Amino acid sequence: MLSLNRTCFLSNSGINGSRTAVQRHGLPVAYVRMPCLLSTRARAAKSGDASVVMETALKEMQLGNGSPAAAEVGLDTTVGGGVKDVYGEDTATEDQLVTPWSVSVASGYNLLRDPHHNKGLAFNEKERDAHYLRGLLPPAIVSHELQVKKMMHNIRQYQVPLQKYMAMTDLQEMNERLFYKLLIDNVEELLPVVYTPTVGEACQKYGSIFRRPQGLFISLKEKGRILEVLKNWPERNIQVIVVTDGERILGLGDLGCQGMGIPVGKLSLYTALGGVRPSACLPVTIDVGTNNESLLNDEFYIGLRQRRATGQEYDELLHEFMSAVKQNYGEKVLIQFEDFANHNAFNLLEKYGTTHLVFNDDIQGTASVVLAGLIAAQKLVGGSLADHRFLFLGAGEAGTGIAELIALEISKQTSVPLDLARKNIWLVDSKGLIVSSRKDSLQHFKKPWAHEHEPIRDLVDAVKAIKPTVLIGTSGVGRTFTKEVIETMASLNEKPIILSLSNPTSQSECTAQEAYRWSEGRAIFASGSPFAPVDYEGKVFVPGQANNAYIFPGFGLGLIMSGAIRVHDDMLLAASEALAAEVSRENFKKGLIYPPFSNIRKISANIAARVAAKAYELGLATRLPQPDDLVKCAESCMYSPTYRNYR
Ligand SMILES: NC(=O)C1=CN([C@@H]2O[C@H](COP(=O)(O)OP(=O)(O)OC[C@H]3O[C@@H](n4cnc5c(N)ncnc54)[C@H](OP(=O)(O)O)[C@@H]3O)[C@@H](O)[C@H]2O)C=CC1
Ligand SMILES: CC(=O)C(=O)O
Ligand SMILES: [Mg+2]
């Protein structure tokens, strides 16, 4: 059993997990909640079926009930699964409630409606016989490749991006492996559909386009019962949770419960870009209400119709969630905070950073991706990071997160103290340049950036005064890099580095065309949401996409494969270096400071390997011994959407 489990970890069908383990035996297994006539283990033993015994052992391991079957696979149930679970029927006393879990083999009509196992017309003759599919499908048998071709053809027929998004969502709900193959094989075309910018519009209209729920909704109504709610999720072996409370969805503000599109989209990328099994991914939205009046008055709104809970009520719900996650899934589940407003984001990261494996994508992932771009850009402009002056428009999660990681890298490169390294980094917020005279009224995350300078209100005046070589937009406000701002940057620098990071496209500080035109084709430009190549005076400029999607999938994979228990800043630096190393000579020739997304799985494997290596070096890895070749290990861990053969 132990060797089977290890083989799964290194197989190309995903990091080890119950579904993978069973699928190796070629049986499409579905979890069903139903009254059990026999205990699952007894039934497994009776059936004599190795896959069912294995499944049962793993299920019991996940339930943490310390069963002999779990012991048989050599795993300590309390380390991986938190405290023992009173819902496990084999250990519950007579007066305790049990959850009647059962495992059944999916077949016939149900198999076609189970997105994890459905292959549609790709079921072969033998499978159609063995799984009672005769008559439920038309006679034609088509290949996975042909299915992809047809779906791409269909999706390209839609003119409206939101229709493409809905078609992709339907596919994900119908045939998961086809969805991921489509996304992986056509990543550059489909990323803007399942992710920014279209996911932003989808969240804004989530209520009216809502068909079937995706992810787990935890609202104030569930206070006191969050552990129970987690147990309603059909998968037991969760490795990554992306959670939002919907208060700062991209640059679109408070979208309340409709922010669910973000965790769902991010986790699709965890699988497609980083190779984490879909069944190990759990999207969560914490609904504490919304202050968005138009949503509160929208009859199609799907969330709680109340203003946001704050203070103790908010903190208690979040704390219950964090505790329940650790209790249910153990210490090594990665919790990625996404699109929280900054007044909660920094506190949550600090509060849970020492007790949980937490990562804030907007603060840390964005920092890592931007640092990678800046490291790569040195090949185009010469010199080192310490030679630059940086100016940010926007001093929130993304802005101060990036600023801090740049300072840390400069401090490490030059051995100057962190405080000194910060001196060449300036930030502007909605009230103007952050300067020492404002220090008392600043939020805590802005204080390190309050340098000595007279107050300046407007960005363009700040550019003239600070004379930055790098301008970074993290304001969430579109078209704030005006013609005058970019012309000033171009007058100060031969090759101004200009990053418009705000999402979606409508919130980008400038367009690619504006950056190239107003800088007379001299800007090194990248944006958070994609822009098409620009033709300026006969030359084609290809803008890069500075988006944390380059980092978090590989970063998460590195944490999972090393069994890391905490995130450390040095892992972010390692990820930046790994990403920067992926920019080829060809890319540089086009002015790119990021590699194309078409290579992203290879890039993610390299990022994962560097992050895992750092986890081992820092003593934060628990999956021992350390594999000799971490890149190979990462590649072999990655989920592949290839159809499995069923017997
Ligand atoms: N490309 C990527 O990978 C990522 C992009 N982003 C994008 O970055 C943007 C900001 O996100 P985040 O940092 O989390 O948001 P925050 O709300 O934490 O920060 C926004 C900052 O912008 C400032 N600001 C708002 N309006 C203006 C204005 N008119 N002029 C100057 N400053 C202004 C705010 O000022 P004040 O503090 O005074 O209110 C605040 O400092 C979003 O659009 C998001 O989509 C975020 C993460 C990753
Ligand atoms: C990309 C991202 O995480 C954001 O815009 O919030
Ligand atoms: Mg985000």
Q: What is the residue-wise DSSP string for 460-495?
A: HHHHHHH--SEEEE-SS-TT-S-HHHHHHHHHH-SS
Residue 9 pLDDT > 60, yes or no?
no
Residue 7 pLDDT > 50, yes or no?
no
Mapped to the 3 state alphabet, what secondary structure does 58-118 carry? HHHHHHCCCCHHHHHCCCCHHHHHCCCCCCCCCCCCCCCCCCCEEEEECCHHHHHCCCCCC
Q: How many residues make up the chain in this entry? A: 647
Tokens of 288: 């504490």
Q: Give the 3-state secondary structure of residue 197.
A: coil
Q: What angle do CA 82, 83, 86 make, to 5 degrees?
A: 130
Query: Residues 521-531: what's their mean pLDDT?
Result: 98
Residues with CB under 6 A from ligand 1: 248, 250-251, 342, 362, 366, 369, 393-399, 428-431, 474-477, 480, 501-503, 507, 528, 546-548
pTM: 0.89
Residue 153: pLDDT band with limits 50, 70, 90: very high
Is residue 447 classed exposed, middle or buried when 0-12, 13-18 and 19+ CB atoms within 10 A define those classes? middle
Nearest alpha carbon to residue 374 among 305, 470, 468 = 470
Helix or strand holding residue 359 (H, E): strand 357-360
Q: Which pLDDT score, from 0 to 100, does residue 39 have?
A: 39
Tokens of 611: 């992050």
Contact 295, 579 (CB under 8 A): no
Q: Which of 31, 180, 195, 643 is catalytic?
A: 195
What is the C-alpha separation between 342 and 345, in angstroms, rounded? 5
Would the CB of 475 count as within 6 Å of ligand 2? no
Query: Residues 554-562: what's their mean pLDDT?
Result: 98
Report the nearest-CA residue for atom 3 of ligand 2.
362
What is the C-alpha separation between 315 and 344, in angstroms, rounded? 9
Residue 76 pLDDT > 70, yes or no?
no
Centroid of chain to Cα 522: 33
Contact 63, 236 (CB under 8 A): yes
Residue 507 pLDDT > 60, yes or no?
yes
Tokens of 594: 């990021």
C-alpha of residue 528 to centroid of ligand 1, in Å: 12
Which atom of ligand 2 is the closest one to the Cα of 548?
1
Residue 193 pLDDT > 60, yes or no?
yes
| 598 DSSP assignment | G
Q: Which pLDDT score, from 0 to 100, does residue 95 have?
A: 78
Weakest mean pLDDT among 91-100, 338-347, 446-455: 91-100
Contact 615, 569 (CB under 8 A): no
Is residue 68 classed exposed, middle or buried when 0-12, 13-18 and 19+ CB atoms within 10 A define those classes? exposed
Residue-wise pLDDT tens digits, 378-405: 999 999 999 999 999 999 999 999 999 9
Residue-wise pLDDT tens digits, 299-335: 999 999 999 999 999 999 999 999 999 999 999 999 9
Q: How many CB atoms lie within 10 A of CB 476?
A: 21
Query: Residues 57-67: what's their mean pLDDT?
Result: 39
Percent of the chain with pLDDT over 70: 85
Is residue 630 classed exposed, middle or buried when 0-12, 13-18 and 19+ CB atoms within 10 A define those classes? buried
Q: Which pLDDT score, from 0 to 100, does residue 93 have?
A: 72
C-alpha of residue 547 to centroid of ligand 2, in Å: 7
| b/e map 155-186, b = 16+ CB within 10 Å | beeeeeebebbbbbbebbeebbbbbbbbbbbb
Q: Which amino acid type is present at position 623?
A: R
C-alpha of residue 502 to centroid of ligand 2, in Å: 8
> Catalytic site residue 165?
no
Q: Which of 266, 326, 446, 614 is catalytic?
A: 266
Residue-wise pLDDT tens digits, 119-132: 999 999 999 999 99
C-alpha of residue 249 to centroid of ligand 3, in Å: 7
Which atom of ligand 1 is the closest one to the Cα of 398?
13
Beta bridge partners of 103: 31
CA distances from 534 to 414, 450, 513, 517 (A): 37, 37, 6, 9
Question: Phi and psi for 372 in degrees, rounded to 5?
Answer: -60, -45
Contact 561, 6 (CB under 8 A): no
Contact 523, 487 (CB under 8 A): no
Is residue 457 classed exposed, middle or buried when 0-12, 13-18 and 19+ CB atoms within 10 A define those classes? exposed
What is the C-alpha separation between 600 and 606, in angstroms, rounded? 10
Q: Helices 397-414 & 342-352, crossing angle to 10 degrees?
A: 50
Which atom of ligand 2 is the closest one to the Cα of 361?
3
Show Cβ contacts of residue 239 under 8 Å, excluding neighbours closer than 6 positions. Answer: 15, 17, 276, 277, 280, 281, 332, 333, 334, 560
Would the CB of 409 count as within 6 Å of ligand 2? no
Question: Phi and psi for 121 in degrees, rounded to 5?
Answer: -70, 0
Give the number of the ligand closest to the Cα of residue 547: 1
| b/e map 222-257, b = 16+ CB within 10 Å | beeebbebbbeeebbbbbbbbbbbbbbbbbbbbbbb
Q: Which pLDDT score, from 0 to 100, does residue 567 have?
A: 98
Residue 109 pLDDT > 70, yes or no?
yes
Q: Which pLDDT score, from 0 to 100, does residue 83 have?
A: 41
Would the CB of 362 count as within 6 Å of ligand 2? yes
Q: Which pLDDT score, from 0 to 100, does residue 169 have?
A: 98
Contact 496, 487 (CB under 8 A): no
Beta bridge partners of 541: 534
> Catalytic site residue 195?
yes
Give the number of the ligand closest to the Cα of residue 545: 1
Residue 41 pLDDT > 70, yes or no?
no
From the DSSP assignment, how many helices (H) and strands (E) are in the chain?
30, 16
Which atom of ligand 1 is the closest one to the Cα of 400?
13
C-alpha of residue 263 to centroid of ligand 3, in Å: 9
Residue 189 pLDDT > 70, yes or no?
yes
What is the C-alpha separation between 191 and 186, in angstroms, rounded? 8
Strand 29-33 with 101-105, pairing: antiparallel
Helix or strand holding residue 218 (H, E): strand 216-219
Q: Which amino acid type is present at position 291?
A: N
Work out the mean pLDDT of the chain and round it to a whole number: 89
C-alpha of residue 396 to centroid of ligand 1, in Å: 5
Residue 445: pLDDT band with limits 50, 70, 90: very high
Residue-wise pLDDT tens digits, 88-108: 556 667 777 766 767 778 899
Which of 245, 475, 477 is the pocket-test mutation for ligand 1 (most atoms within 8 Å of CB)?
475
What is the C-alpha separation between 90 and 164, in angstroms, rounded? 47
Which residues are in the CB-under-5-Å shell of ion ligand 3? 338-339, 362
